[in-house]
Structure 1
Amino acid sequence: MGIFSRFSDIINSNINSLLDKAEDPEKMVRLIIQEMEETLVEVRTVSAKAIADKKELLRRKQWLADQSDAWELKAELAIKKEREDLAKGALAERLKFINDGVGVEAELEAIEEGLQSLEGEITQLQQKIAEAKARQKSLVARQKTASSKLKVRMVLQGGSVEETLSKLEGYERKLDELEGRAESMDLGKKSLSEEIEQLAKNDEVEAQLAALKKRVESKSQETK
C-alpha cells in the first residue's frame, strides 16, 4: 500500500467505530497509533525531500537569471561595437536561459502546492494521532477499573472474606476468654487504694457507733 493511499485511509477512518468493532480495543488502538506514526514519519520524509528540491530549484532559478542578465550585457556590448550578428547570438542564448527559468518557475509552483498540501495532511494526521492516544488513555483507565472490580467480586464471591471474618471472630472470642480468666483471678482482691478507702470507712463507722452509744446513754439517764 502506498503512502498516500495509507494516509487517505487513516484520515477518512473513524477511530471510534474501528475500536467499537474490535475484539481487543486496546490492542487495536496501539496498532492504529503505530500505523499513523509510521505514516507521519513517511509524510515528513516526503516533505523534507520536497523542501530540498525547492531549495535546489531556487538556486537554479537564480543562476538562470544571472546567466540571462550576463547574456543581455553581452548583447548590449555587441551592439555598441556594431556587431549586430553577435548581439543576435547573445540574445538567442539569453532566451534559452529565460525559457529554462520559466520551466523552473513552474516546477517551483508545483512543489509549493505539494508542500502546502503535505502541511495540511501532517496537521490532520497529528490530530488523528492525538485522538487515538486520548482514546488509548481512556481504554487503559477503563481496563484498570474493570480489572479492579473483577478482582473485588472474585474475592467476595469466593468466600475468602467470610472465612477471614469468621476466623477473626474466633480470635476475638479466645481473647475475651483470656481476658475473662485474668479478671477472674483478681476477684476478691482489693487494691491498695481500695484498702485505704476501707480503713477510712471503718473509722467513720466507729465514730458513728460511739456517738450513738452516747445518745443512748444520755436518754437512759434522763428517764431515771
Structure 2
Amino acid sequence: MPLLERVTTLLRANLNDLIDKAEDPEKMMKQLLLDMENQLLQVKTQVAIAVADLHLLENRKREHEESATGWHRKAELAIARNDEALARMALDRSLSAQQMAGSFAQQMDDQQMEVETMRNAYLQLQTRLKETEAQCELLITRNRRAKAAGKATAAQTKIADGAALRSLDRMKTKILGQEAENSGAQAVLGLNTVEDRFHKLERESRIDDLLLELKQQQRLPG
C-alpha cells in the first residue's frame, strides 16, 4: 500500500471501533501509536526528499534558462558577424534549452503539489498522533480502572452469593455443637464427681462404725 494510502487509513481509523474489536485494548492502543509514529517518520522523510527534488528541478530549470539566454546572445553575435548559418544553429540550441526549461517548470509545479500534499499529510498525522496519544492515555486509564472495578465487583458478587456466609454459619454451628458437647461432658463429669464424693463419705462413715464396733468388742479405749 502506498505511503499516503497508509496515512489516510490511519487518519480515518475510528479508535473506539478498534478498541471494541481488540482482545487487549491497551496492547492495541500502544501498537496503534507505534504505527502512527513510524508512519509519521516515513512521511517526514518523504517530505524532505520531495523538497530536495523540488530544489533540484529549480536548479535544472535555471540552468536551461541560462543556457537559452546564452545561446540567444551567441545568435546575436553570429548575426552581427553576418554568419546566418551559425546564428540559426545558436537559435536552435536556445529554443531547445527554453523547451527544457519549460518542461522543468511543469515538473516543478507537479513537484510543488506533491510537496504540499506530503506536508499536509505530515501535519495532519502529527496532529492526529497527539490527539490519539491523549485519547489512548485516557482510555488506558479507564481500561485499568474498569478492570479493577470488575475484580471488586466479582469479589462482592462472590460474597453476596452467600457462599462465604454459609461457610461461616456451618463453622458457627459446628463450634456451638462442640461447646454443647463439652458442656454436657463437663456436667456429667461434675455429677460423677459429686456422687463419688458422697459414696466415699458413706464408705468412710461405714468404716468408722465398723472400727468403733471392733474397739468396743475388744474394749480398747476410743
Q: TM-score range by the shorter chain?
A: 0.5 to 0.7
Residue 74 of structure 2 corresponds to which residue in structure 1? Answer: 74
* Partner Cα separation in structure 1 for residue 148 and residue 21 of structure 2: 24
- Could you tell me how far 1:66 is from its partner in structure 2? 1.0
3-state SS of 1:82 partner: coil
* Partner Cα separation in structure 1 for residue 46 and residue 4 of structure 2: 11
- Which stretch shifts more, 136-145 or 72-81? 136-145
* Partner Cα separation in structure 1 for residue 153 and residue 24 of structure 2: 23
* Partner Cα separation in structure 2 for residue 95 and residue 111 of structure 1: 24
2:62 equivalent to 1:62: yes
Give a deviation string over 1:2-28, Cα, whole Å, max 9, x none. Answer: 323322221222122211222221111
Give a deviation string over 1:131-180, Cα, whole Å, max 9, x none. Answer: 22112111232244345556767888889xxxxxxxxxxxxxxxxxxxxx
* Partner Cα separation in structure 1 for residue 150 and residue 18 of structure 2: 26
5+ residue gaps, structure 2, are 165-222
2:133 equivalent to 1:133: yes
Residue 183 of structure 2 corresponds to which residue in structure 1? Answer: none
Residue 112 of structure 2 corresponds to which residue in structure 1? Answer: 112
Residue 121 of structure 2 corresponds to which residue in structure 1? Answer: 121
Residue 178 of structure 1 corresponds to which residue in structure 2? Answer: none
* Partner Cα separation in structure 1 for residue 18 and residue 144 of structure 2: 21
Residue 87 of structure 1 corresponds to which residue in structure 2? Answer: 87
What is the TM-score with the length of structure 2 in the denominator?
Answer: 0.64
* Partner Cα separation in structure 2 for residue 154 and residue 100 of structure 1: 77
What is the TM-score with the length of structure 1 in the denominator?
Answer: 0.64
Residue 170 of structure 1 corresponds to which residue in structure 2? Answer: none
* Partner Cα separation in structure 2 for residue 49 and residue 29 of structure 1: 30
One-letter amino acid matched to 2:66: D
Residue 17 of structure 1 corresponds to which residue in structure 2? Answer: 17
* Partner Cα separation in structure 2 for residue 147 and residue 34 of structure 1: 24
3-state SS of 2:76 partner: helix
* Partner Cα separation in structure 2 for residue 34 and residue 3 of structure 1: 16
- Could you tell me how far 1:31 is from its partner in structure 2? 1.1
One-letter amino acid matched to 1:87: A
- Could you tell me how far 1:62 is from its partner in structure 2? 1.1
Quote the RMSD (CA, aligned, Å).
2.2
One-letter amino acid matched to 1:70: G
Question: When the two structures are aligned, how many residues end up with a matched partner?
Answer: 159
Residue 102 of structure 1 corresponds to which residue in structure 2? Answer: 102
